[in-house]
Amino acid sequence: MFERKRTILLSALVLGLAAGCAVLGDGTYRERYPDAQIDPFKGVEGDVGFSDTIQYWRDEAALQRHAGLADKPAEVWKLNWKHMDLDRIDLHPGHLAVDEGQALVKKLAARNPAFLTCLGEGSADLKGKAAAYPKFDEALGRIVTVEARIEHCAKSVLKEDLSQGKPPNTRISVYFKSLSAGMPIKVDLSDENVMEAYRRGEELFYRKTGQLNFACASCHVPGSIMGHKLRGETPTTPFGDAAHYPTYRTPVGALESIQERFARCHGQMRTQGLKPGDPAYADLEVFVTVLSNGYPVSVPSAR
């Protein structure tokens, strides 16, 4: 009996592999987009040999050199929309969000200074701290994003609900991250808990879901829809994306956290979206933020 079960499992595995699918531990048949083989230790430079578009958006000099692509509808996607970061100095509502976030932190810290030291993990100085997120928090025993830290500190210190995905949380996040603007993102892959989250996030990235049977990878890896017109849009490389979140979305006039962006892509995929802060979204955020390692935090931004 046991023998038989094993051969069935084995042949299911072989079949699954043959069809480009994987069989999950729970025995559920789940299709996957073929793995793109990303080396997490290369950080944002992993885009070399991936979409190879990083040559156009690696830094301001590259962006200036290739600014002409912005006028070519078929090629503008290669800029990964980073040309929109060039207006960093201009006044856009993302800057207002920084001011609002700062005012909010000041107000909450006036109620209890421990709020600020909770955000700064023991220090009231937040400068440069956001660049190391997401991280594994030993005391909480889980992966913590900037937005999760804000929610946690508000709840534990002030008994205040600043849920992830709600405007006050996102405003504080924009302020918090703006204090690391220009500093390279450095998610700590030497922490095995972070590495495990990266692997989980990677697994989720390739898993097909929803009514349309798409994985994130169906639109965001070479050979997929990436770089192709999908009616009005063109999906781009996932490298470098995490750097400019939360971003101010000019078309709808609102801030958007990266996990809200995941949910928006899930809407397009006709897949049940998850709430900001969901453990699966936290793992996905670790995955995509590692793909921004080495790239400067670019908050505030507008898209």
Partner 1 sequence: MKRFVLFAAVLQGLTFAGTAAAQGAAAPQAAPGYAAYPCLSYSLPCGKLATRKPEKKDLVGPLNGNAAKGKQIAQARNRGNCLACHVMPGGSQPGSRGPDLSHFSSTGRSAAEAYAMVWDMRTVNPETLMPPFGTNEILTDQELRDVVAFLLSSK
Q: Which residues bind partner 1 (CB under 8 A)?
A: 19-21, 26, 28-31, 34, 165, 204, 207-214, 218, 224-225, 228-233, 249-254, 256, 260, 263-264, 266-274, 278-281, 284
Least distance to ligand HEC from the beta carbon of 295, Å?
12
- Which part of the chain contacts ligand HEC (CB under 6 A), choosing from 86-94, 144-152, 187-195, 228-236? 228-236
Closest to partner 1 by CB, 83 or 208: 208
The residue written with tokens 């804000």 in the block is 150
Give the helix ranges, DSSP H, for the chain: 2-18, 54-57, 60-65, 93-111, 114-119, 146-158, 167-178, 192-205, 217-220, 258-268, 279-290
Closest to partner 1 by CB, 46 or 227: 227
State the pairing for strand pair 247-249/29-31.
Answer: unpaired
Residue 30 contacts which entry, partner 1, ligand HEC, none (Cβ below 5-8 A, type-dependent): partner 1
d(CA 11, CA 121): 50
When binding is defined by CB under 6 A, the residue of 81, 133, 136, 295 that contacts ligand HEC is 81
d(CA 22, CA 18): 9
Under 8 Å between Cβ of 208 and 24: no
When binding is defined by CB under 6 A, the residue of 46, 261, 277, 293 that contacts ligand HEC is 261
Cβ-count burial of 56 within 10 angstroms (0-12 exposed, 13-18 middle, 19+ buried)?
A: buried
Least distance to ligand HEC from the beta carbon of 301, Å?
9
Least distance to partner 1 from the beta carbon of 181, Å?
24
Angle subtended at Cα 183 by Cα 80 and Cα 99, rounded to the nearest 5 degrees:
85
The residue written with tokens 């390692």 in the block is 293
When binding is defined by CB under 6 A, the residue of 170, 178, 218, 289 that contacts ligand HEC is 218
Residue 34 contacts which entry, ligand HEC, partner 1, none (Cβ below 5-8 A, type-dependent): partner 1
Amino acid at 41: F
d(CA 114, CA 108): 9
Least distance to ligand HEC from the beta carbon of 106, Å?
29
Residue 303 contacts which entry, partner 1, ligand HEC, none (Cβ below 5-8 A, type-dependent): ligand HEC
Residue 258 contacts which entry, ligand HEC, partner 1, none (Cβ below 5-8 A, type-dependent): ligand HEC
Distance of CA 54 to the CA centre of its chain: 17
Under 8 Å between Cβ of 253 and 93: yes
Check residue 38 for interaction with ligand HEC (CB under 6 A): no
When binding is defined by CB under 6 A, the residue of 24, 74, 103, 230 that contacts ligand HEC is 230
Q: Which residues bind ligand HEC (CB under 6 A)?
A: 81, 214, 216, 218-220, 225, 230, 233, 235-236, 241, 258, 261-262, 265-266, 268-269, 284, 288, 303
